[in-house]
Amino acid sequence: MNRLKLDKRTQVITVLVEGTSINATSRITGVAKHTILKLLKDMGCAAVTYHDAHVRNLHVRRLQCDEIWAFVGAKMKNTSAEKIEQGWGDVWTWTAIDADTKLIVSYTLGQRNAGTAYTFMQDVASRITNRIQLTTDGLRVYAEAVENAFGADIDYAMLVKIYGASNDGPESRYSPATCIGCRTGVLAGDPNPKHISTSFVERQNLSMRMGMRRFTRLTNGFSKKLENHGHMTALYFMHYNFCRIHKTLRVTPAMEAGLTDHVWDIDELVGLLEDAH
C-alpha cells in the first residue's frame, strides 16, 4: 500500500493542527481527502496511546476541570434515534488542566452525565501521585465522581457562575448571557480560597474552539463522524502538550511538567506513527 512521504505527512498534520478543515487541508496540500482522514485516524490513535502511557505519575498542585460542547452530524435536538446510534448528536469533551504547568492531564469524550464524569475522574486520579486542590464548575455529577476517584484525599471546591437573564433579541444567539457573579462551595478538604478558579480551563476551551475547525460554532465545519472527532481531539491535545510553546511559560506544558526536555517539532509528532507499527 502506498504511503505518504514524511514531508507530506508533516505538511498535512501541520495544517490540521492549525485548525484547518479536512477539505481545506486537501486543497492546501494536494492530498486526497480520504488519505487525510486515514492519516488523521492513525495519528489520533498514536496520540491516545502515547498520552495514556507517558502522561502519568504527575505531581499536580492545582487542577481545574470543565466540559466543552460540540456535536457530530447534527445537534441532538435535530437527530433521529437511528443517527444517534451511529454516533450523531451532542458530544462533550471533558478536560483537566494543571493550573501551574498548563498541561492537559486528562481528557474524555462522552455525554454530560454521571457515567462520563465517573470515567473521566477515574482517569484523572490514575495520573496524579499527590493530594491536589481541584476546582470544577457546578455540574452536580462531579461530586460523586470525585469522591469515588479520590475519596477524602483531596481539597475540592465547586465554582458556580451566576448569569443574568438573556434578552430575546437575535444578538443573544451570538453573545452569551452576562456573568453577574459567582459562588463557591467546598465539597472536600480545605481548598485555598485564592485558588478556587476555573479560569485556565475555560481559556483552554477557547483555545480548542480556535484550534479545531470541528469546534467552531455556527458553521458547517462540524464533525460528520464521531471517530474523526475523537481522532482530531487526541491530535490537538498531543500537539498542545508537546509541540506548542505556551506564551506565559515560554516552554511547552510537557516541558514545564517534566515530561520532556525539548519542544517537539511536527516531524517528531509524526514519528509516533513509526513507533506504533
CATH of the domain at 143: 3.30.420.10
CB 5 within 8 A of CB 30: no
Give φ, ψ of 271 to 5 degrees: -60, -20
Lowest mean per-residue pLDDT among 4-13, 154-163, 168-177, 233-242: 168-177
For residue 222, is it within any domain?
yes
For residue 154, is it within any domain?
yes
CB 246 within 8 A of CB 256: yes
For residue 1, is it within any domain?
no
pTM over 0.75: yes
Mean pLDDT, to the nearest integer, of 3-25? 93
Give φ, ψ of 17 to 5 degrees: -75, -5
Mean pLDDT, to the nearest integer, of 112-116? 96
Q: What is the pLDDT of residues 122-170, one digit of tens each?
A: 999 999 999 999 999 999 999 999 999 999 999 999 998 776 666 666 6
DSSP code at position 58: B
For residue 187, is it within any domain?
yes
Q: What is the pLDDT of residues 58-83, one digit of tens each?
A: 999 999 999 999 999 999 999 998 99
Rg (CA), the chain: 19
Predicted pLDDT of residue 169: 62
Q: How many domains does the chain have?
A: 1
> The domain containing residue 192 runs over which residues?
6-276
Predicted pLDDT of residue 234: 97
In terms of Cα–Cα distance, which of 246, 242, 238, 236 is closest to 100?
246
1 pLDDT above the threshold of 60: no
For residue 100, is it within any domain?
yes
For residue 248, is it within any domain?
yes
Give φ, ψ of 138 to 5 degrees: -85, 15
Expressed in angstroms, the distance from the first to the final Cα of the chain is: 15
233 pLDDT above the threshold of 60: yes
- Pairing between strand 62-72 and 133-136? parallel
254 pLDDT above the threshold of 90: yes
173 pLDDT above the threshold of 70: no
C-alpha cell at 137: 464548575
The whole-angstrom distance between residue 250's C-alpha and the CA centroid of its chain comes to 21
50 pLDDT above the threshold of 70: yes
